[in-house]
Amino acid sequence: MISLLVSVLLAILVVLSVLYWYQLEKNDENHQQQEDERIQPLLRGLNFMLADEPDLALQEVVKVARLRSETTEVYMFLGEMFRSRGEFGRAVRIHQNILARPNVDPELYVQAQFALATDFHKGGLIDRAIRHYHKVLQVRSDHLPSLQGLLSIHEQSHEWQQAIDLLQRISRLSQQSASLHHAYLLAAMAEEALQAQQVEQARAWQSEALRRDSGCVHAHMLNIRLCEQQQELAAALESMAKQLPEWLFLLLPELADKQKGFFLEQWRLTRQSELALSWLELCAEHQGLAAAKQLREQLAWQPSNLGEALRLTAIFGPDEPLQQYAQTWRQSLKRFSCQYCGVRIAELRWQCPQCMRWGCMGLHTLTAQTVD
């Protein structure tokens, strides 16, 4: 059976053949021999495709691309296709062949260099990716995709200050606000400083993160962790409750026992199901089922959909087989989803692992239709 790659290459070769023959009819006899030389690789490529030898067919397409500039778009398309299939070596060779052509058009040079940088980036060769992103920027300093590629690399390497510098540059060029993204990068810097026991530096970056964007959940949580006095803690908790009440459940592991009155008050005000469920799960795990039942009576909460009911069953039963299945389901539950790309994950991240946006993860509401 002919693979997807074979089918695509075959379609490309057929279209190119038709175009060449059409152009051949329009040319005078002086160009006949030249056009014949250009059509031959297409015919050989078609034969290789019919013989189910896509590698040899690709070689013929490469020859066509070298002979005729109009085929460059096909050449670029093949590189994109190989990259999307994880065949980074083939994608690299295609884009290197484009750059090896004499008198490469400046726009084509930028496209091929960026494609090559993306090949290396996706393939994990980060140093080479950086080199080619910079080659693009030497020609076009405002090339946003290259700047965004470099930003992604610096973020993955936890080079936060370089990432912030790039983010500000991108924001100026695109004329779009990146305040929330900036705040999360500052919060990441504060987190690392706190782990290194550089408390004052952590406090400075955390404060700057909240100044940039008060919607940064990570910065609010750091603010609470950095509080040394009860008065400071109360103010930090009230600030988060005012700005981001839907995320208060994240504070339960550290503060459920110490700040029970605060959480009960927030439960009374918001009736957030996630706050109740997370609290009950934590209580059952650390204090036992009897304590969890007592807390449930105190909260007087009932599930409103199938997902919530299953999570409650995972804690209390009563049906033993159902409880066993519910516990297994709960362990693999993906509670958070990206508001942009829709990817769902089990553990909260400040940056989406798929589209790489910051501060875009939200709670995923489970219904009868969405229970996995």
Residue-level pLDDT at 2: 43
pLDDT higher than threshold 50 for residue 151: yes
The β-bridge partners of 337 are 344, 362
Better-predicted residue by pLDDT, 318 or 132: 132
Chain segment 56-81, per-residue pLDDT in tens: 666 666 566 555 545 677 677 778 87
Whether residue 126 is predicted with pLDDT greater than 80 in this model: the reply is yes
pLDDT in tens, 83-110: 877 889 988 988 998 888 888 888 989 9
pLDDT, one tens digit per residue, over 10-61 is 555 555 555 554 554 544 444 444 555 555 665 565 566 556 665 666 666 6
For 198-221, how does the pLDDT look when each residue is reduced to its tens digit (9 = 90+)? 999 999 999 999 999 999 999 999
Give the pLDDT confidence of 266-275 residue by residue, as tens digits. Answer: 999 999 999 9
The whole-angstrom separation of Cα 179 and Cα 25 is 59
More confident of the two residues 79 and 356: 356
* pLDDT value at 183 more than 50: yes
Question: What pLDDT is recorded for position 338?
Answer: 94
Going by C-alpha positions, the residue among 163, 142, 143, 167 that lies closest to residue 153 is 163
The C-alpha atoms of residue 207 and residue 298 are separated, in whole angstroms, by 36
